[in-house]
Structure 1
Amino acid sequence: MFEYGGILGLIILIADVWAIVNIMGSSASTGSKVLWTVIILVLPILGLIIWLFAGPRSGRV
């Protein structure tokens, strides 16, 4: 009836794009930004969870 896989995939895609935008806006080094972006692209769900707990934060408070 409902396409849960498609909806869940869309939510994960939006969350990953949001995380990457936040990574690029952080004050971390370029190498760190690239590493975090690759982790999120290769491991979308796990990478997002790891980034939430250990990733670089944006300069805004």
Structure 2
Amino acid sequence: MIFNTLLSSILLQLCLAPLGLAAPISTQTLDNSWQYGTGGGLLGLIVLILDIIVLIEVLKSSRTPLQKLVWCLVVFLFPVIGVIIYYLFSNRSAYQRGSGYESLA
């Protein structure tokens, strides 16, 4: 019971933390909202969402654990380039679980 409560509070904090860092508060100018760097901005939020989508897709695939680890590290260490490399070179259709229907005998 205590473990479930602790786990749910940690997951909630992890889900809400990126929202606090997504758009930096700037009192000087408002025309810098498309920045990508410290604080993120709108472009950083989009990259974060794409990275999470790729990580979920990799972890749900039928790859070996080593392949999953390598793809997750590539996407984690190189967020923008990693997503591009994954979509270009990952052969996603070969590793999808439950892709297509089984024929009835």
Please indicate, yes or no, whether the TM-score normalized by the shorter chain is above 0.5.
Answer: yes
The aligned counterpart of 1:17 is: 52
Question: Of Structure 1 and Structure 2, which has the larger fraction of its residues in helix?
Answer: 1
How many residue pairs get aligned? The number is 61
Structure 2 counterpart SS, 1:4: coil
Residue ranges of structure 2 left out of the alignment (5+ in a row): 1-29, 36-40, 100-105
The CA distance in 1 between the partners of 2:59 and 2:91, in whole Å, is: 9
Flag the structure with more relative contact order, 1 or 2, with Cα contacts below 8 A and sequence separation at least 6. 1
Q: CA RMSD in A?
A: 1.3
Give the 4+ runs in structure 1 shifted more than 4 A: none
The aligned counterpart of 2:87 is: 52
- Quote how far apart the aligned CAs of 1:10 are: 0.3
Match of 1:4 among 25, 34, 55: 34
- Quote how far apart the aligned CAs of 1:60 are: 3.8
Residue ranges of structure 1 left out of the alignment (5+ in a row): none
The aligned counterpart of 2:4 is: none
Structure 2 counterpart SS, 1:51: helix
The aligned counterpart of 2:77 is: 42
Percentage identity across paired residues of the two chains: 28
Structure ID, larger Rg? 2
TM-score of the aligned structures, taking structure 2 as reference length: 0.54
